[in-house]
Amino acid sequence: MKRTITTLIITLVLGCTGVARATVTGQWDFNSSNLTATVGADLAYYGDTELVTTFTTATIGGSNAIVMGFPAATVSQGYVMTHGIAPNGGGSYVNQYTLIMDIMFPAASSGTWRSLFQTSTANANDGDLFVNTANGIGISGAYSGSILPDTWHRVAFVFDLALPSSRLRKFIDGVEVGAQNLDGLDGRWSLDPTAFLFTDNDGETAAGFVNSIQIHDVPLTAGDIFALGKPTAAGIPTTIPVLTNVVVTVTPTNQTATAQMAASCFNAAAVGSGTLTYQWYRNGVAVAGQTNPQLRFQNLQLSDAGSYTVVVANGLQTVTSSPPAVLTVEPAPLALVTGQWDFNQGDLRATMGQPLQYADATVQADVQFGSTTLFGISDIAGQPANVMLCNPSTSGYTNWNGFILTHGISPNGGGNRVNQYTLIMDVLYPSWSSGFYRALWQTDLANTNDSDLFVNGPNALGISQTYDGELSLDAWHRIVFTFDLTKRELGKYIDGTNVVAAPKGAAPLGPHLV
């Protein structure tokens, strides 16, 4: 247990009693301004790390604590942790364990790769847990949550390498932010008797502070992690509190979203016995249909702004989240049409903006212009229309390079390229095209990689094996794709209807910068 620097501390935890559910085999609290263990074996300096390690006083949750400042370690620096866990999980190494840290990274370290944990006893390969450049936690391209700069967080990593999937679960401040698969028994994330902290084989490290580190010999449950709570000056409890009442936390506490967009606003994390039910309230009034842990809107309106709470019940008890989470809804920006092409003149000239261009002579030879009557296809809303017919002669055996579109949009969304835009098309696919992939959109001007939007074989819209909706054949449809890469969101609409069944993608990665 961390010793706090105060004259007198009185802590009252309602509805909790301390009962050990798992063995803490190692804990380090830095109370004596050194690497002495609170539980288990002392940490050890690797190389000359002692020369660049500091101990100082920090305020956490209103109380003072002695914390350790660790450096941006080189490959020959770091801290050796002897965890004290026997091989488990049915393997020859440690395959089931939980690692918890109370950490803080200053703003100067934000936006960089920060290794937290290294299982290679020679520090000979890439670290095994990181905070990435977008401040998420994880490994191998799967990063979740957000580690805010200059803010103390309690991060927990639960490993169960004996499971068939979701072998790593990740938590920030008691709330699960993600899960991912890893190698199985006795693989990369299994442990020898020792492991490294805050180092990496190629210098993907940054300076930060740690108040408390704890390791358990079992994979803790989500309820256990929730009960351990947020960082405190006292450090991580050596026994897991038993929550006898229903407890709920809502994150984030404030959110800003844009009207007329789908939005995932708040998440409720609740722990308690029995079957839990949820009901969201706006300004004290129940919101119809919002009975899931996540508060999500398919088409957010300005009138949805307000203060939100969630009531969680288990049949015997109810609890209301506090304080209310505040949702601010900004008006949808006025859309500016930067390009439009209607083919009324029998060529590629633009109704607005710059004309389309044929990518090559083959494309030009494969394109015809005429009326729906001329081509013997359906009229549009009962009226003949001038259209463009694309009939690729190279389909199925080599690239058909399509058209070059100059969109006229300036870089936006906080990046160096266009990260927020909407693409709309009125299209008809004949019945003989069903069963084939049909590319709609390609962002690579060299056309050397896979296209970026498709109609797939079953006539749905999407990319990367995520397809929604269905285009009926021999019929005109208005399809709309809305991109907001600052949130990694892709909206898909057919004839005005949102066909995205559920939110897709992982945690936001920020604007596309390269």
Would you say 18 and 11 are in contact if contact means Cβ atoms under 8 Å apart?
no
Domain-embedded: residue 117? yes
Answer yes or no: are the C-beta atoms of 305 and 259 closer than 8 Å. Answer: no
Q: Are residues 277 and 370 in the same domain?
A: no
Do 142 and 277 lie in one domain? The reply is: no
At 320, which CATH number? 2.60.40.10
Position 501 scores a pLDDT of 53
Residue 504 inside a domain? The answer is no
In angstroms, rounded to a whole number, what is the distance separating the alpha carbons of residues 126 and 117? 10
DSSP class of residue 286 equals: E
**287 and 154 within one domain:** no
Residue 290 sits in the same domain as residue 376: no
10 has which bridge partners? none
- Which domain CATH number covers 57? 2.60.120.200
**Residue 6 DSSP code:** S
CB 391 within 8 A of CB 346: no
| Residue 338 falls inside a structural domain | no
Report the half-sphere exposure of 393 (CA within 13 A, side-chain side).
9
Select from 159, 160, 104 the least CA-distant residue to 129. Answer: 159
Burial of residue 437 (CB within 10 Å: 0-12, 13-18, 19+) is: exposed
In tens digits, the chain (514 residues) has pLDDT values of: 554 333 222 222 223 333 334 689 999 999 999 999 999 999 999 999 999 999 999 999 999 999 999 999 999 999 999 999 999 999 999 999 999 999 999 999 999 999 999 999 999 999 999 999 999 999 999 999 999 999 999 999 999 999 999 999 999 998 889 999 999 999 999 999 999 999 999 999 999 999 999 999 999 998 899 889 899 999 999 998 877 788 899 999 999 988 877 788 999 999 887 789 999 999 999 999 999 999 999 888 999 999 999 999 987 788 999 999 999 999 877 777 889 999 999 999 999 889 999 999 999 999 999 999 999 999 999 999 999 999 888 765 567 889 999 998 888 888 889 999 999 999 999 998 888 899 999 998 888 888 999 999 999 999 988 999 999 999 999 999 999 988 888 999 999 999 985 433 333 323 332 2
Residue 344 lies in a domain: no
* Tokens, residue 479: 């399809």
Which of 73, 70, 50, 46 lies closest to 127, judged by CA?
Answer: 73
- From 188, 209, 243, give the residue that closes a domain: 243
Is 270 found in the same domain as 236? no
CA dist 508 and 252 (Å) reads: 14
Measured between alpha carbons, how far is 76 from 91 in angstroms, rounded to an integer? 30
Q: Are residues 297 and 385 in the same domain?
A: no
Whether 150 and 294 map to the same domain: the answer is: no
Beta carbons within 10 angstroms of residue 373's beta carbon:
10
Question: How far is CA 221 from each of CA 47, 229, 278, 349, rounded to the nearest angstrom?
Answer: 36, 13, 21, 62
**264 and 293 inside one domain:** yes
* Radius of gyration, alpha carbons of the chain: 28
Instruction: Specify whether 136 is located in the same domain as 167.
Output: yes
- Whether residues 232 and 252 fall in one domain: no
Contacts of 450 (CB under 8 A, 6+ apart): none
Among residues 304, 250, 236, the alpha carbon closest in space to that of 278 is found at 250
In a domain, 1, yes or no: no
Contacts with 149 (C-beta within 8 Å, 6 or more apart), sequence order: 105, 106, 107, 109, 110, 135
| E-strand stretches of 85-243 | 96-104, 114-118, 129-131, 137-139, 142-144, 153-160, 168-172, 175-180, 194-197, 208-216, 240-243
pTM for the predicted model, two decimal places: 0.56
The residue among 314, 330, 346 that closes a domain is 330
Q: Let me know whether 265 and 414 are in one domain.
A: no
Q: Which of 228, 243, 258 is the last residue of a domain?
A: 243
Please name the residues in contact with 138: beta carbons below 8 A apart, sequence gap of 6 or more: 129, 130, 132, 144, 168, 170, 178, 180
Give the residue numbers spanning the domain of 310: 248-330
- How many folded domains does the chain comprise? 3
Instruction: Please report whether residue 346 resides in a domain.
Output: no
Asked if residue 369 and residue 305 are part of one domain, the reply reads: no
Rounded Cα distance between 146 and 172, Å, is 8
